[in-house]
Each structure stands twice: as structure tokens, then as C-alpha cells.
Amino acid sequence: MLNSDTRFAPPRRRLLKAAAGLMTLLVTPAGLAQGASRVLAVRVWPARDYTRITLEYADSVRYSHQIVKNPERLVVDLEGVEFDSVLQSLPGKISDSDPYIKLLRAGRNRPGVVRLVVELKAEINPQVFTLPPAGSYGPRLVLDLYPTQPVDPLLALLEKDSPAAATSPEAAAANPHDTPRPAQAEKDAIKPARGNVRPITIALDPGHGGEDPGAVGAKGSFEKNITLDVAQRLKAKIDAEPNMRAMLTRDADFFVPLQQRVEKARRVQADLFVSIHADAFIRPEARGSSVFVLSDKGATSTAARWLANKENAADLVGGVNLGVKDAHLAKTLLDLSQTATLNDSLKVAKSVLGELGNVNQLHKGQVEQASFAVLKAPDIPSLLVETAFISNPEEEKRLNDEAYQDRLAEAMLRGIKRYFAKNPPLASTRPA
């Protein structure tokens, strides 16, 4: 008698192979061609500065794009990509308030090619580029839609200072999407809000944003949201002070490269740059507030060096278009001979750290230093505030509390005012 395993082995293998093939058909989405790439997610980040569309996919894709006129459209063809439920959901990702996009849609253009059509509200300058995997993201295709007239941070600041900038219904109707206005004409028409007295200008930099969430708390809190909330509260307090005004490097949930944050501060001729963050560490028991300034000699501690490296990696996660050269790069890199700026940074940092100690325990009793890219303005005193550890469950809860956010903002304001009371900016250094 033959061994049963020997007799039935070949048919059994064929049966199993057939069953496996059937299961593959059942779990494979209808119409998914073998070897085609899947779009895993589409994210849209609308803002006055620009709107970003990000497509995250499983494998590399080939693409081409063009601007089509009458009406204005950005058309992007994706080769080797399947038209699935993610792409079908695109129209619902655009809000009426988006400054630049009217509608986003996709469809099969020809076999193996999906066409994305971005219907626009006005002419734009698009930047289309790919990003390698970074952080928790896979490969990404990025569509950055910039206005043809770039947003001028100084103009925006002057508009808010001007009594003529009251938001009347007529003004709102004339500019419903808060899009940029002609720069020079507006500048010529605007007068300083407080006569000939030059207001102290403070650039507030809410860390992270858009594609870059920053640190994530145990309860799911995003650092980028907390930093924006605290920065907006601090801005309101500064704007309420006589002879002081504040500018935000971002006023919504969008990504700003580190170098552009510095450049925005220099464009408004800021007297102080304050970058606001919420710390994280591998151990949940780490806690306390910290204040950092730039180091020209190396980090003052291993933790400071680790934090600087983490914050400097924000451009990789957020997604910088490396194909665009920054014309101001040479001007904004650190000049190590300008020690006066670093000395002023230390003074204001000590003042702010002392006030934060009245609201939260301090992680370190002294100002720390490390090579933070965002602090490298050569002519502006700059500090980075780690409000608390979002990785600590107790501090994460407090960071989400509006009353606590307000106390943090109030403490930073007191520290800033105390510094400027002893170190007023020279009237001759920057015009009003």
C-alpha cells in the first residue's frame, strides 16, 4: 500500500496554490494592476503664505505637471498609480476658505496614468517635488502652490498696526480670501500706528506645523498645535502693550522651513526672536521648562545636543524643496564674530527662564546652549523656549489647558518686558 502523503502530495499542492491565488484576488482591490503603486494618503495644508498638497505613496512614482490657462489649473499626471478610494476622496479635502484652491479632483486619464487636476482661484507659482521617507512618512510627492505676489511679513505687520486696517464688511468683501495685496502701494499708504515712536517688534515662532507634527504626547497631543496656541496668546498680550508688537512666523497649521522662519524675522526687522516648543524625551518622567540660546562652541549638555539635532531635523519631516536656492542664505548664516547678539540672547533668555520658574518647575536651573538652526539670525537676539515636556503625561495635560497656556504666555511676556526695560533697542538701528 502506498503512503498516503506520497500519493496525494502533488494534487494537494496544486489545490493549495489555487486557493492562495483565489485569496489574492479577494484581498486585492478591484482594478489594482500588478506592480502599481498605491497612494496611501493625501493631505492638504491651506494657508495665506501658500497651500501644500502632499501625496504619500508606497513606492516611487513618475510624474509630470503643467499649468493650464482659462481657467487656471495645475495638472499633474501620475504614472503607474492606481485610481483608488484615497484619490476618489480628493474633492472633500478642499474647504471654501482655501486661499488658492477651488477644487481638487482626480481620474483615470489613460491606462496606467492617473491625472490630478487642481482648479485654482488665481494664478500661482507651483513648486512640485518629491521627498524621500522621513520620520513616520513614506515617499511623498509635494505640490506647493505659492501666490504670484509673495506674502510680505513686514507689510502684514504694518497692516495690522494701521488704523485703516479695520476689518469692515467692505474690506472683507474686497479681499474675501485674505490674499496678498500690491505691496508697494500699501506700504506707501500705511503710517506707523504710534507716530514717530518705533515699536519694539518681536517675532514669535511656533515650532513645527503642517507635515511636521513635532513631538506627540501619550494622549495624542501634537506639539505643533500647542506651540501655535501659546504663541497666539503671547502675541495678543504683546500687541496689547504700548509700543510693542508681535509677528508670527506661522499663524495656522502649515510648514515653514527653519531658514524661512529666520528670514521672516529679519524682514520685519525684529528686535527679538522667540521660538516656542514643547519638549519630548524617551523617558516619560522627564519634566520642566527650559530655555536655550545658540552655541558657538558646542552644546552645554548631551540632552541639549540631542534636542538641537531633533529640532534641526524638522526640515526633513516637514519637507523642504532642496531645488530652490535661498538668496538670503549667506546673509542669515551665523557670523561667529557677532558676539553682542549672543550676549543679548543670553540676557533675555535668563529673564524669561526666571519668569517661567514661577509657573512650572525648571528642567535645568540655567540657560542651555546648542546649535539650533532656527536661532542663527546674526543680528537678532534669539531664544528657544521649551514650555514643558509633552512626553510627560501630567505636563501634556497641562499644556492642553487654556489657563495654563495663558500663564506660560504671561510669564514669557514678563521676562521679555524685563529685558527690554534694561536693554531698550536703539532707535537708530531699525526704522519704525
CA-closest candidate to residue 360, choices 303, 414, 399, 416: 399
Report residue 160's pLDDT band, with 50, 70 and 90 as the boundaries. low
249-263 pLDDT tens trace: 999 999 999 999 999
Residue 212 one-letter amino acid: D
58-75 pLDDT tens trace: 887 899 999 999 999 999
Asked if 207 and 276 count as a contact pair (C-beta separation under 8 A), the reply is: yes
Question: Domains of the chain by range and CATH?
Answer: 39-147 (2.60.40.3500), 192-422 (3.40.630.40)
For residues 163 and 171, give the distance between their C-alpha atoms in angstroms, rounded to a whole number: 13
E-state strands within 216-336: 244-248, 272-279, 290-294
Which three three-digit cell numbers place residue 123? 494664478
Average pLDDT, the chain: 82
> At how many degrees (to 10) do helices 153-161 and 258-267 cross?
50
183-223 pLDDT tens trace: 443 333 333 444 756 799 999 999 999 999 999 998 999 99
> What is the mean pLDDT of the segment spanning 382-386?
96
18-36 pLDDT tens trace: 444 433 333 333 344 456 7
281-285, 355-359, 406-410: range with lowest mean pLDDT: 281-285
273-296 pLDDT tens trace: 999 999 888 888 889 999 999 987
Indicate if the pLDDT at residue 47 is higher than 70: yes
CA-closest candidate to residue 207, choices 309, 316, 137, 311: 311
> What is the mean pLDDT of the segment spanning 1-19?
39
Q: What DSSP designation does 180 have?
A: P
For residues 322 and 146, give the distance between their C-alpha atoms in angstroms, rounded to a whole number: 16
For residues 190 and 140, give the distance between their C-alpha atoms in angstroms, rounded to a whole number: 42
Report residue 13's pLDDT band, with 50, 70 and 90 as the boundaries. very low
